[in-house]
């Protein structure tokens, strides 16, 4: 048998193995997802009580990661949807919708009836059709233990002009997943990759789907050529010509029982369409070999498209596996990829105008001009480590190790630091986003906005709620629009009492403050009201008093064929969730 025949046989074997794994994961995940479906349905019934659009001014959103931040196509606004928050014991999932007014530097909360269920790790894309549309696909709902997941495969559109949510029901779409990527490309939504995880198994994808924005139909693409290996969390960018570029990502595989090996991908691919606009488009994968300085390997980075036909990558984390621990180096750097030149280069901050004038006194003007013309001419010479400290409300001092790719810039700052301090114009080293992963980013009018995300120190996770911006045209300095609030940092040590409910308990609702007892006690005609929580009543007392009611609710969601033991567990989780939302 020739080499080609062997490759074909090997490829078919890999396809069969992947198909078997997907079937195995799907079978096990189905049982877990049945437990969470009832909770999701209960949350949706609470959302269904909202019958009118309400927009109100509000403080900045609570800390979160893995949400989506999108630029409004017609207004100077950013749209924040969903996300998650973990406080050491419980996971909170969100489906709230926030609007950030760029000119006023203010937030408002937009409550719209019948929104998508709470989720994180979804994808959101804005298109300019009919006054603007925000399209959302997939994502996940998780239990507090992080051991149970419900992966969505639904498609939603928010009509920005009429402020209405609409679920688009079309067959033939991708399977449930999170960590996938989605871009708008020539009147299509292109979806690539992602993963699906159950308590014991997982599978990563490298399939490609297209959703036609005119016919509202799905199609699974079958590109020619060798494409990327399965992965999640990659960089996916649509070029002006209608091609799609894939870079990096993360995947893991089981090398032996209970032992997984993670892979940080650094390869790059082009998915090119031929015959765009015709009935039968032909797609082809090809590998890209970019020049310049690529980002160091990482996962959890955020991506956006900047001006000048350049996509960008911000932040992320590079995990270092020790014998008994997992430590991560978090980043807050920016890397640009020039799609026209097929070249990577790191962003270099030039500092404010006053700083530039001081540098010109002791440096040649031609080097400054070269820096203005093309920032990639000064690549980093090696990593630089900076240590910062953040004090939480409980007095915990968190030491953050920051790895910066561009020591030339830091050296340049240190040389003029004394002069700056004398004149009172020193650059504050803290005026920049702290290193983080899984942040939400968007670009509007050439300005990059970075919101939230997380970093870890030891076993503790810091989830952020700050907002920064930087002009990508000037690359002068970061601006702090919303500072990080230490009071918002809560971390609870895991207790044994919580573990009993972890198996089935669904994630807490995303609107901790919003679902007050006053709102729950409103009389909605035609709807049965849940038993109200009495003043001073603890969760055990409330459950003892209302157990039969919640068993009845759980049974109505799960169906008569559900096992009694499972129904009771779900009922208890519902009661506990309702009690905590009401208190």
pLDDT tens for each residue of 174-200: 999 999 999 999 899 999 999 998 777
State the pLDDT at residue 527: 40
Nearest 5°: the CA angle 257, 259, 264 is: 140
- What is the pLDDT tens value at each position of the chain, 583 positions in all? 444 444 444 445 445 555 555 555 555 556 566 678 877 887 888 888 888 999 999 999 999 999 999 999 999 999 999 999 998 888 999 999 999 999 999 999 999 999 999 999 999 999 999 999 999 999 999 877 667 889 999 999 999 999 999 999 999 999 999 999 999 998 999 999 999 987 778 999 999 999 999 999 999 999 999 999 999 999 999 999 999 999 999 999 888 877 888 999 999 999 999 875 556 779 999 999 999 999 999 999 999 999 999 999 999 999 875 544 556 899 999 999 999 999 999 999 987 765 555 555 555 544 544 444 444 444 444 445 555 555 554 555 554 444 444 443 433 444 444 443 333 334 445 588 999 999 999 999 999 999 999 999 888 889 999 999 999 999 999 999 999 877 777 888 765 444 444 443 345 555 444 443 333 333 333 345 788 888 888 888 888 899 988 888 877 766 676 678 777 877 787 787 777 767 6
Beta-bridge partner residues of 83? 94
Residues making up the chain, counted from first to last? 583
Helix (H) or strand (E) holding 358: helix 353-362
- Helix residue ranges per DSSP H, 431-563: 496-499, 517-520, 539-558
For the chain, domains (ranges, CATH) are 51-348+433-486 (2.120.10.80), 539-581 (no CATH)
DSSP characters over 268-336: EEEEEEESTTSSS-EEEEEE---EE-PPPS-BS-EEEEETTTEEEEEEEEEEEE-SS-EEEEEEEEEEE
DSSP characters over 4-32: HHHHHHHHHHHHHHHHHHHHHHHHHHHHH
pLDDT digits (tens, 9 = 90+) for 205-219: 999 999 999 999 999
Phi, psi of 12 (to 5 degrees): -65, -35
- Helix residue ranges per DSSP H, 428-563: 496-499, 517-520, 539-558
State the pLDDT at residue 176: 96
Question: For tokens 């006054």, what's the residue?
Answer: 131
State the pLDDT at residue 486: 75
Q: Which of 255, 213, 252 lies closest to 233 in space, CA to CA?
A: 252
pLDDT digits (tens, 9 = 90+) for 470-501: 999 999 999 999 998 777 778 887 654 444 44
State the pLDDT at residue 505: 38
- Helix residue ranges per DSSP H, 144-274: none
State the pLDDT at residue 274: 83
State the pLDDT at residue 334: 97
Q: Which of 18, 47, 58, 148 lies closest to 566 in space, CA to CA?
A: 148
Nearest 5°: the CA angle 18, 247, 262 is: 50
């Amino acid at each position: 048998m020739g080499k080609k025949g062997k490759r074909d046989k090997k490829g078919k074997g890999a396809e069969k193995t992947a198909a078997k794994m997907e079937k195995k994961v799907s079978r096990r995940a189905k049982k877990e997802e049945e437990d969470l479906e009832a909770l999701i349905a209960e949350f949706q019934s609470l959302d269904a009580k909202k019958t009118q659009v309400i927009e109100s001014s509000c403080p900045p959103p609570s800390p979160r990661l893995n949400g989506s931040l999108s630029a409004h196509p017609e207004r100077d606004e950013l749209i924040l949807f969903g996300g998650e928050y973990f406080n050491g014991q419980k996971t909170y999932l969100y489906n709230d919708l926030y609007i950030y007014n760029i000119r006023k530097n203010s937030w408002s909360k937009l409550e719209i009836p019948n929104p998508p269920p709470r989720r994180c790790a979804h994808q959101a894309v804005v298109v300019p059709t009919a006054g603007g549309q925000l399209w959302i696909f997939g994502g996940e709902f998780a239990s507090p233990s992080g051991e149970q997941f419900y992966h969505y495969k639904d498609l939603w559109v928010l009509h920005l002009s009429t402020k209405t949510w609409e679920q688009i029901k079309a067959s033939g779409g991708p399977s449930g997943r999170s960590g996938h990527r989605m871009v708008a490309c020539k009147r299509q939504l292109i979806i690539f990759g992602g993963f699906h995880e159950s308590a014991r198994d997982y599978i990563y994808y490298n399939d490609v789907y297209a959703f036609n924005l005119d016919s509202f139909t799905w199609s699974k693409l079958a590109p020619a050529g060798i494409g990327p290996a399965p992965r999640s969390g990659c960089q996916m960018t649509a070029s002006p010509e209608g091609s799609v570029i894939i870079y990096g990502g993360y995947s893991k595989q089981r090398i032996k029982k209970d032992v997984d090996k993670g892979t940080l991908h650094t390869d790059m691919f082009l998915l090119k369409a031929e015959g765009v606009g015709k009935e039968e488009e032909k797609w082809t994968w090809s590998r890209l070999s970019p020049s310049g300085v690529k980002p160091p390997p990482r996962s959890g980075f955020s991506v956006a498209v900047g001006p000048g036909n350049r996509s960008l990558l911000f932040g992320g984390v590079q995990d270092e596996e020790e014998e008994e621990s997992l430590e991560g180096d978090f980043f807050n750097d920016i890397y640009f990829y020039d799609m026209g030149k097929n070249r990577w280069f790191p962003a270099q901050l030039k500092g404010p105008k006053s700083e530039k004038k001081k540098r010109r006194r002791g440096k040649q003007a031609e080097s400054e001009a070269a820096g203005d013309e093309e920032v990639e001419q000064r690549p980093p010479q090696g990593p630089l480590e900076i240590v910062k400290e953040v004090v939480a409300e409980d007095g915990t001092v968190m030491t953050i190790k920051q790895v910066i790719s561009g020591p030339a810039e830091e050296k340049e700052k240190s040389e003029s630091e004394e002069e700056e301090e004398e004149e009172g114009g020193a650059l504050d080293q803290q005026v920049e986003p702290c290193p983080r992963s899984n942040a939400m980013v968007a670009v509007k009018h050439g300005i990059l906005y970075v919101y939230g995300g997380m970093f870890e120190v030891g076993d503790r996770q810091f989830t952020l709620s700050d907002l920064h911006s930087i002009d990508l045209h000037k690359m002068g300095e970061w601006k702090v629009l919303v500072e990080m609030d230490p009071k918002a940092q809560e971390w609870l040590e895991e207790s044994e009492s919580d573990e009993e409910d972890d198996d089935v308990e669904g994630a807490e609702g995303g609107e901790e403050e919003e679902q007050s007892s006053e709102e729950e006690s409103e009389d909605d005609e035609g709807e049965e009201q849940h038993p109200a929580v009495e003043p001073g009543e603890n969760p055990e007392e409330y459950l003892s008093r209302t157990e039969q009611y919640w068993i009845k609710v759980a049974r109505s969601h799960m169906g008569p064929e559900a096992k009694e033991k499972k129904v009771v567990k779900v009922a208890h989780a519902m009661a506990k969730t309702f009690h905590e939302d009401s208190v």
